[in-house]
Amino acid sequence: MSAQNSGPWRWSEALLERLLPETTRETIAGDLREEFVEGIEPKRGRLRAQWWYVRQVAGFIPWFAKEGRGMSKVLMTLSTVVLACAPWLAVMETILRHPGYAGRIAEAVGIAAICAATILAKMLHAGVVVERWLWLGAGALIVLGATAFLQNARAVHFEGFVMVISLLLVAQWVLMLATMGRKGGGSRPSVI
Amino acid sequence: MAELLGTFEQSVLLAILGLGSEAYGRAVLNRVQEKLARDVAAGAVYATLERLEARGLVRSRLEAGTTVRGGRARRYYLLDAEGERALGDTRRALTAMWNNVQLPAQEG
């Protein structure tokens, strides 16, 4: 197979390039393509080589997460959106007064508080200890998000707004775990 | 004394040292895998290379890419004097730590 029609799946290569910072995107993607074409594919065959490439791409995710490349900004944006949505949810529950509305109002207030704390912690560059306390908030978010998602999926009257909010909460949880409470990110000094 | 290096950092720096002028990402990755005798995630090697460069232990230069790379440039790494010093310090520290140490399981 020639080098022209050989190579990793386009989507996996594109994903790798999305994950990498601009400064290293070209060289790393080039190295992996070279290794794929000249090293892995001839030895392991096309399908296993593709699997190897996908694993390599997945291997960059922890690096991406540790360095917090742009993810803190995404987390801030997401927290702001959810913070804006939470009071609206509380107001709607107050107006509609469906069974169990008081509990859902309390949840909306809790979500707003976690979002506000997250935004403040990021804005004020709070220390690792403060950010680690926010992991408790992250835990609450995933429980609320997953519960809302499942309940809404099973409900007779599907509510798109609730579905969107629940997915936002899950995304926020992932970003909080990835970017918060890490001492110095990926640049922390290593010791023996 | 420079800050001591972790095991993986030592592997990467030693690979760069061993490869000389041929130390680019893929070659370093393969050398590290060969020396450690296990599969290593490419991400781990590149993250380490970036960190070592940020700490001034290695420096890099870009060279034009080849067809097989889809025309993408290659980044070659070179050990800096600081990197050499850090490797030496780490080796001395490890040797001193292990001097006259016998693991219980290996004692007669």
pLDDT digits (tens, 9 = 90+) for B73-103: 999 999 999 999 999 999 999 999 999 898 8
| Chain A residues whose beta carbon lies within 8 Å of the beta carbon of residue B30 | 35, 39
Domain ranges of chain B: 7-91
ipTM (interface pTM) = 0.82
Closest CA relative to residue A24, chosen from A69, A55, A58: A69
**Would the pLDDT of A34 be above 70?**
yes
How large a percentage of chain A has pLDDT more than 70? 84
Q: pLDDT by residue (tens digit) across A128-154?
A: 777 777 888 888 888 888 888 888 788
B7-91 maps to which CATH number? Answer: 1.10.10.10
Dihedral angle sign, alpha carbons of residues B30, B32, B34, B37? negative
Predicted local confidence at residue B8, as pLDDT: 94
User: Is the predicted pLDDT of residue A155 greater than 70, yes or no?
Assistant: yes
Tell me, yes or no, if B65 comes closer than 8 A to chain A by beta carbon.
yes
Segment holding A26, helix H or strand E: helix A22-34
Task: Determine the distance in angstroms separating the CA of B11 from the nearest CA of chain A, rounded to an integer.
Answer: 12
**Beta carbons of A15 and A59 less than 8 angstroms apart:** no
* A191 at B interface, C-beta within 8 A: yes
The secondary structure of A28-79 as a DSSP string is HHHHHHHIIIIIIHHHH-HHHHHHHHHHHHHHHHHHHHHHTTTHHHHHHHHH
- Whether the CA torsion A71, A176, A112, A85 is positive or negative: it is positive
Distance from CA of A32 to the nearest CA of B (A): 7
Shortest distance between the Cα of B22 and any Cα of chain A, in A, equals 13
Task: Give contacts of A60 with chain B, Cβ < 8 Å.
Answer: 42-43, 46
- Whether residue A14 lies within 8 A of chain B, CB to CB, comes out as no
